[in-house]
A and B are shown apart, each in its own frame.
Chain A
């Protein structure tokens, strides 16, 4: 079974994010980068399917600057077999649509039975690339899955989706695009041997022309959404400590909740 996993390199979830003074982006100085955590669930699931079936190939693909190759190497160290890196200045500044288009084009040139993505990237939280890619590839999709079972004949899959107050179970014909939610699995760490072996694995490079795309179709030029400005969330107001006897504090609290917070 050939599985493609799309992943994105994002700032470490433990990093403190600062918006640049001009609002054009975030400060990248001193930030460490990791594989988007939801994409790690997707990768882990792909590796487990391969291990369960005892055969198969997992290809990881990313669109990003040269630095994003680290994320591919980490994925290869975790056990993926091949990497594909869409790296070119022309890809920069792309929105979810432009990214999905470039990824879909790269995937069209590869053999696959299943495509897995994270449900969203934790940097821009757009949750668009997976579904958009499925549309562009003309494939069925199921998003935010917490369980995935491949049918014995490998022609269809049963997935569990988290929906409001319930779990939805769907049968989907393959190939299909699934996006992974937390709870799907517990991702592994790359082993030392995996890290040592990763450097020998192949990473194919692509630019717009090798994908048959014009520079106008990718990156900022090919985007439908333009980011005007980033601003940090408003800083939290300092808390209030009530004083006095419990009875007085309680009445003060009710007063504040009613008059100031206006929630009761």
Chain B
């Protein structure tokens, strides 16, 4: 048992912390207010290799481990969770799906530009009528000669309007339900592929979320990603990694809430003393810190097992469930500690609170995480 980070992990953590402090923190409120996608920052992330963190170097990535990935996303979560979500969904979902399921040719054509950060990736499973019930997607893909024809709509797609390369889940056999789902690589310029409404969100406003529409969109036959009708199985593997990412980002948001609360509690004077001297505040701070450490340990456990090549479905879900709930609680308490100042935009804690909420919803709601964990505990015969 060893809780020490390696020299490389420490170096990565320090680099991203400094980068976030210098290049992100001061701009987060502005991008949030304007709901603007921070292209300027994204280009810098690409230069530093942060859009190919977990992708091997042979495909243009940095080839880093999941512990490093978790450390990076925690730092981004601490600075600006919108950046964390962009980095997470690009790396964990779009790029990683192609890495896990793609052919060598697909990897060269699509994974390399994603990992190098030349293009952004989006990953589309959710539909207007298929959220937690992901198996009921209505988007269809029909093979017609040398191409697939896609029809349907996707909703709440992160990087929906900014991605150059999308991974789209579609039904290839409606009679088979989730066993009839396949994944496809779709380029932005594909005729019949249209970007729909850009969503106006509560939080994570500098992350791009849009609808995608497919109207007889023609995809080359060879852009089927993975085996026919195996898309849903690959999706679950992709989400295992994604949940480690969301959990890391949630730990970062919670840490932001705690660090800002510590600072404020020491500065704010009421009844002639800093509010940090009141036990009511101390207990809140103690609970926040304890829960954050516990959440981080769950995240690092899942990341560690992932690095060992183990299946992490249960551990990733536990980390994601717990960390996102900790982030929500910590940000609620941070506002409470800040009082009136926490409720106005002069302080960033209200943004942390708005951003934290998504962690309980995206890539599987807290309720779905509990189902996933329970199924892992009980085995298939009960569920």
Interface on A for B, CB 8 Å cutoff?
14, 32, 34, 70, 73-74, 77, 189-193, 195-196, 198-199
Contacts of B64 in A (CB 8 A): 192, 196
How distant is the Cα of A32 from the Cα of B11 in the complex, in angstroms? 12
Partner of A192, one of B10, B21, B49: B49
Task: Provide the bound-state CA to CA distance between A231 and B48, in Å.
Answer: 41
Q: Is the CB of B14 within 8 A of A192?
A: no
B68 vs chain A, min Cβ distance (A): 8
Q: Is the CB of A77 within 8 A of B11?
A: yes
* B62 engages A196 (CB within 8 Å): yes
CB distance from B335 to the nearest CB of A (A): 26
CB of B328 closer than 8 Å to a CB of A: no
- Which residue of chain B has the shortest Cβ distance to A14 in the bound complex? B21
* A14 CB contacts on chain B under 8 angstroms: 21
Contacts A14-B21, A77-B15 supplied; 11 other A-B pairs, CB < 8 Å: A34-B14, A70-B7, A70-B11, A189-B48, A191-B47, A191-B62, A195-B11, A195-B15, A198-B8, A199-B7, A199-B8
| Dominant secondary structure of chain B at its interface with chain A | helix
The answer to the question of B50 belonging to the interface, with a C-beta cut-off of 8 Å to chain A, is yes
CA–CA, A189 and B14, complex, Å = 10
What is the interface size of chain B, counting residues whose CB is below 8 A from a CB of the partner?
20
Q: Distance in Å from the Cβ of B51 to the closest Cβ of chain A?
A: 10
- What chain B residues lie within 8 Å of A191 (beta carbons)? 47-49, 62
When distances are taken between beta carbons in the complex, the residues of chain A under 8 Å from B52 are 192
Q: Does more than half of chain A's interface fall in helix, strand or loop, or is it mixed?
A: helix
**B273 beta carbon closer than 8 Å to chain A:** no
**Which single member of B8, B14, B18, B19 contacts A196 (CB below 8 Å)?**
B8
Q: Specify which of B7, B8, B15 is in contact with A189 (CB 8 Å cutoff).
A: B15
Q: Which of B1-47 contact A (CB under 8 A)?
A: 7-8, 10-12, 14-15, 18-19, 21, 47
CB neighbours (8 Å) of B62 from chain A are: 191-193, 196
Residues of A within 8 A of B53 (CB): 192
Tell me, in angstroms, the Cα distance from A14 to B62 when the chains sit together: 29
Question: Which B residues are in CB contact (< 8 Å) with A190?
Answer: 11, 15, 48
Q: How far is the CB of B232 from chain A (nearest CB, A)?
A: 32
B18: A residues at CB distance < 8 A: 34, 189
CA distance A77 to B16 in the complex (A): 13
Asked if B12 contacts A195 (CB within 8 A), the reply is: yes
CB distance from A69 to the nearest CB of B (A): 9
- Indicate whether B220 reaches chain A with its CB closer than 8 angstroms: no
Say whether A196 contacts B15, CB under 8 Å.
no
Q: Give complex CA distance A189, B45 in Å.
A: 10
B8 contacts which chain A residues (CB < 8 A)?
195-196, 198-199
A195 to B15, CA, bound (A): 9
**What residues on B are CB-neighbors of A189 within 8 Å?**
15, 18-19, 48
Whether A192 pairs with B7 at a CB distance below 8 angstroms is: no
Option from B10, B11, B19, B57 in Cβ contact (under 8 Å) with A193: B57
Complex: A24 Cα to B136 Cα, angstroms? 70
User: CB-CB < 8 A to A70: which residues of B?
Assistant: 7, 10-11
List 9 A–B pairs whose Cβ atoms lie within 8 Å, in order of A's numbering: A34-B18, A70-B7, A73-B7, A189-B48, A190-B15, A192-B64, A195-B11, A196-B57, A196-B62
Complex-state Cα separation, A8 to B62, whole angstroms: 28
Within the complex, the shortest CB–CB distance from A227 to chain B, in Å, comes to: 29
A-contact 0/1 string along B61-77, CB 8 Å cutoff: 01110000000000000
Q: Do B63 and A196 touch (CB < 8 A)?
A: yes
A190 to B14, CA, bound (A): 10
Residue among A34, A190, A198 with most chain B CB within 10 A: A190
Which residues of the other chain, A, contact B7 by a CB distance below 8 angstroms? Answer: 70, 73, 199
Residues of A with C-beta under 8 A to B10: 70
